[in-house]
């Protein structure tokens, strides 16, 4: 039987406390996870004093580490309780095949990798923390397994670039470009209602090939994925557009030749390809409805978030 008289705040606090020295170990590890990205942001934004042996940056890192350690020690009980709950959630995610320990490691690793080579590393943090708008609705609307979506993509493939031979390694990408040509050559922009976003499903947009930027992105992503391509959606200020995974820089050279000489020679004449390189050095090519060829100009350079469909 539970003795409720003993459930005082002090007793609860003592029961939840981790025994020494493990509490200090946990706090120090947590400190490192916070201090490293904080240091990268400070390093990129503060003026370098160019001291000998980079002593100014060494002192900066030690100062951040010390200050963070002091703050975490003051919040010791709350931090450790939250950490235990977080670990339990990750354990459940790992066992159930959802977001787990491996996913956290990959996200943290990619964030640090990208921040270290970015002039504004705080933007990476913001893009990770900001929610992708209407994420669940958009994921549900990308009906890549819907027969209507698949049949439309197959129709586009048989209509465009069917006679391009000798590029077996890039067959799927060529077929995705055929889908791009079919959709973008027929797409009619139609605004959402004034009182809010209207998220059309991919099969719904097929009826008239009309809608706004998120409707176009959903349809493009669904068709690309339905035939084996890897799409992702990019969120910028007031806009969403699709991109397709090309691969490495060597792949980009081959795709550049195909676009400029075989597939979109007229549309891309004298113009460059526009793409993004992610934290794993993979190339993503722009497929926005405003582009006349794959890799056309971006409507907006700013990236607030990315939603990848593996």
Mean pLDDT for all residues in the chain: 85
Q: What share of the chain is helix, strand, coil (3-state, %, to 5)?
A: 55, 10, 35
- Domains of the chain, by residue range, sit at 4-122, 135-308
**143-170 average pLDDT score:** 95
User: Beta 231-236 vs 210-211: how paired, if at all?
Assistant: unpaired
Q: What is the predicted pLDDT for the residue at 187?
A: 97
Sign of the alpha-carbon dihedral angle for 246, 251, 253, 256? negative
Q: Is residue 236 over pLDDT 60?
A: yes
Give the fold, CATH level 3, of 135-308: C8orf32 fold (3.10.620)
Position 113 confidence tier, pLDDT thresholds 50, 70, 90: low
Confidence at residue 2, expressed as pLDDT on a 0 to 100 scale: 47
In angstroms, the CA 263 to CA 265 distance is 6
CA 22 – CA 24 distance, rounded (Å): 5
Instruction: Give pLDDT, residue 144.
Output: 96
Distance CA 198, CA 87 (A): 37
Report residue 120's pLDDT band, with 50, 70 and 90 as the boundaries: low
| pLDDT value of residue 115 | 67
Q: Which range, of 60-64, 207-211, 263-267, averages the lowest pLDDT?
A: 60-64
* Average confidence (pLDDT) over 51-78: 86
């Amino acid at each position: 039987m539970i003795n409720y008289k003993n459930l005082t705040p002090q007793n609860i606090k003592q029961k939840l406390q981790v025994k020494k020295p493990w509490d200090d170990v946990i706090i120090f590890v947590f400190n490192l996870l916070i201090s490293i990205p904080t240091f990268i942001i400070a390093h990129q934004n503060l003026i370098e004093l160019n001291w000998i042996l980079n002593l100014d940056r060494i002192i900066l890192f030690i100062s951040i580490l010390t200050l963070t350690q002091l703050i975490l020690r003051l919040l010791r009980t709350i931090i450790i309780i939250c950490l235990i709950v977080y670990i339990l959630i990750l354990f459940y995610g790992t066992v159930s095949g959802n977001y787990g320990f491996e996913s956290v490691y990959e996200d943290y690793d990619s964030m640090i990798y990208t921040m270290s080579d970015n002039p504004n590393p705080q933007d990476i943090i913001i893009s990770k923390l900001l929610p992708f708008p209407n994420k669940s609705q958009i994921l549900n609307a990308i009906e890549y397994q819907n027969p209507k979506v698949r049949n439309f993509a197959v129709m586009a493939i048989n209509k465009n670039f069917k006679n391009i031979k000798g590029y077996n390694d890039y067959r799927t990408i060529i077929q995705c470009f055929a889908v791009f040509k079919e959709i973008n050559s027929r797409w009619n922009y139609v605004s959402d209602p004034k009182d809010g976003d209207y998220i059309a499903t991919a099969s719904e947009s097929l009826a008239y090939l009309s809608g706004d930027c998120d409707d176009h992105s959903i349809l493009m992503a669904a068709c690309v994925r339905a035939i084996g391509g890897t799409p992702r959606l990019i969120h910028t200020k007031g806009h969403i557009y699709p991109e397709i995974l090309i691969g490495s820089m060597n792949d980009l050279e081959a795709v550049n030749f195909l676009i400029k000489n075989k597939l979109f020679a007229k549309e891309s004449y004298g113009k460059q390809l526009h793409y993004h390189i992610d934290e794993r050095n993979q190339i993503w090519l722009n497929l926005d409805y405003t582009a006349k060829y794959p890799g056309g100009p971006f409507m907006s350079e700013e990236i607030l978030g990315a939603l990848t469909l593996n």
